[in-house]
Structure 1
Amino acid sequence: MIHRNLIAAAVLLATLGTVHATEGGGSVYPHGTENFMSGALPPPGLYGMVFGNHYSADRVNDQDGNDLHVPGFKVRANVVAPRLVWVTGQKVMGGDLAAHVIAPLVDLKVSTPGGTQSKSGLGDLTVGLALGYHHSPNLHSVAALDAYLPTGDYDKGDIANIGRNYAAIEPVYALSYIDPKGFNGDLKLGYLINQRNDDTKYRSGNEFHFDYAAGWGLGNGWVLGVGGYYKQQVTGDSGSGAAGDNKYRGMAIGPNVKYDSGKGWFVTAKWQKEVEVKNGVQGDALWVKAVFPL
């Protein structure tokens, strides 16, 4: 799925040339996507989810986190990403087997000193299998394996691309603690294993990341708290133009909220500000997630 980090890839390649941290500083994973309930698999059945994202940035940071003051640089993106989840009712290794697919629809505009370009359409698909566990009425977890497929439009000469043009696989572990009248906490960890971009002959380094949320249940369906993400490139890039040890890193934090109807559907919303970004684009994002049975 695409969001700010995919945008960063196109922008950094166009504006910085030799500065890389993954290919152009981007990622196949939309950091900060998840919020409350990320590790709690619902009962058997078919479920729909919709992720909505608005992202804006006008800053590019170097390897020390300093603003490079790129003149005229701006990124604006809007994404609507439907997700289909099937909880099969089958047990595997003691967990509930589930499958999912995410199909992001992207509207992207990038401005750099070299010009402005816009694109819209289908981004990179995500598919995966998961096992859900319910350790107690409050504590839940999910172990999953996701695959990112290079279905989004890409041209190595463009400054705005809505696809990364390479596949990736990712083991995932998510944990949720849920209390309608007390503490709520969520953590989703992942390790991205990136494949090669065949058009550029470039392979991005592997990445560790986690999304987090922490809040307090008010007892009426509402949970208020904070959330965000942390990301760190772990291994170096390889291929023409790979620049030594210039790995990307960053984090984000901001307020979030959840409303649970008690009727099988819930909604979360989060605004997050990126901070401490190195070798990447730094901006702000608004995320909304809706979950409902089909």
Structure 2
Amino acid sequence: MQRKQLAALGMTFGLAACSFSPLALATEGGGSIYPNGNENYLVGAVPPPGTYVLEYASYDHLQRLRDNQGNRVGLPFDVKVAALGTRIVRVTDTQIFGGQLALHAILPLLSVNADIGGNSDSRSGLGDIAFGPGLGYHDGNLHYAIAVDFNAPTGSYDKNRLANLGRNYWSVQPILAASYLQSSGVNADIKLMYDFNGKNSATQYRSGQEFHLDYALGWGLGNGWVAGVGGYAYQQTTADKRGGVTVADNKGRAMGIGPSVKYDNGKGFFITVKWQQDFNVRNRPEGGGLKVKFSIPF
């Protein structure tokens, strides 16, 4: 396995970084600090010491809302979010607890178009920036990493707007990621995340804690290509609070799945592409999206 491949210790941008202020959904505005399913193959493989740049591009189209029983909400809903995130990773020579110390930061650019209940809004610009440290480990074909991301409220926000580029609160997200890689045969990746969300000072709303799982499972064809499936599972674990009062019966959950491919030229360039469709959605928007990740060798 070429150790020029890059890890994904954390990722925060895209649809999840947006919020739709007037909606009464699980977590404020029906979103999360992490865009579910954003990761793919190579999620846990930390490269050798050096500086690396990755690009994440996504397009999500949400066309309906689901309530606590999974029934479609009658409110007209159509939201499109395009995102491009530049991620800079610095892998150091430092060893801590036997793992390579890596640092990263993500600068997301968003374009949001929302048409909800007959009202429209469009926003473009910088979203919420994420940064944090991680440790990478290697054992043959198995590579894994532990990390923590800090998500800063840098995206534009106004509680009276229909669409926002940020969520207006800090969040801390512990992460565990693992990848089993081989040129021919089974490839498997998983990323586990847990969100501890701060309070939105503009609305006095605190979104509940959230669990995310991204996965990819494919077969290496021996020529740099891997083909298979990828997706996510999501569950809100604690209730939201508005002004200190618990919001009942509105915990979110969702799953997603779709075809996923990877190409790696073995010389520092790789690209992963996935289309995923949401299902089993509760108290959240539902739709589908395209997710692309690629490295920029230099």
Per the alignment, residue 197 of structure 2 pairs with 194
Q: Distance in 2 between matches of 1:53 and 1:101?
A: 18
Amino acid at match of 2:85: A
Unaligned runs of 5+ in 2: 1-11
Q: Which amino acid aligns with 1:175?
A: A
Residues 55 and 296 in structure 2, CA contact (< 8 A), matched pair in contact too: no
Superposed displacement of residue 237, structure 1: 1.0
For the residues of structure 2 that align with 1:101 and 1:142, how far apart are their CA atoms? 16
Query: What are the Cα deviations for residues 98-119 of structure 1, in whole angstroms up to 9, with x where unaligned?
Result: 0000011001000012510000
* Residue matched to 2:295: 291
Q: CA deviation at 1:242?
A: 4.9
- Give the % identical residues: 48
* Residue matched to 1:140: 143
Alignment RMSD: 1.2
Do the aligned partners of 1:46 and 1:293 also contact (CA within 8 Å) in 2?
A: no
Distance 1:162 1:114 in 2: 20
Q: Could you list the per-position Cα deviations for residues 86-106 of structure 1 after superposition, in whole angstroms to 9, with x for gaps in the alignment?
A: 001111110000000001100
Greater mean deviation of Cα atoms: 220-229 or 112-121: 112-121
Structure 1: stretches of 5+ with no match in the other structure: none
The residue matched to 1:24 in structure 2 has which SS? helix
The equivalent residue for 1:69 is 74
Q: Is 1:20 matched up with 2:31?
A: no
Q: Does 1:43 align with 2:54?
A: no
Which letter maps to 1:264?
A: G
Q: Residue 5 of structure 1 aligns to a residue in which SS?
A: helix
After TM superposition, the score normalised by the length of structure 2 is 0.93
Q: Which amino acid aligns with 1:224?
A: A
Give the Cα–Cα distance (whole angstroms) in 1 for the partners of residues 167 and 97 of structure 2. Answer: 34
Q: Deviations over 1:110-153 (max 9, x none)?
A: 001251000000000000100000011x1000000110000000
Q: How do residues 126-165 of structure 1 correspond to structure 2 at under 5 angstroms? A: 126-136=130-140, 138-165=141-168
Amino acid at match of 1:249: R
* Residue correspondences, number: 286
Q: TM-score, normalised by structure 1?
A: 0.94
* Contact 1:75-1:111 within 8 A present in 2 as well: yes
* Change beyond 3 A, Cα 1:203–1:6: same
Q: Is 1:265 equivalent to 2:269 in the alignment? A: yes
The question of 1:2 aligning with 2:13 is answered: yes
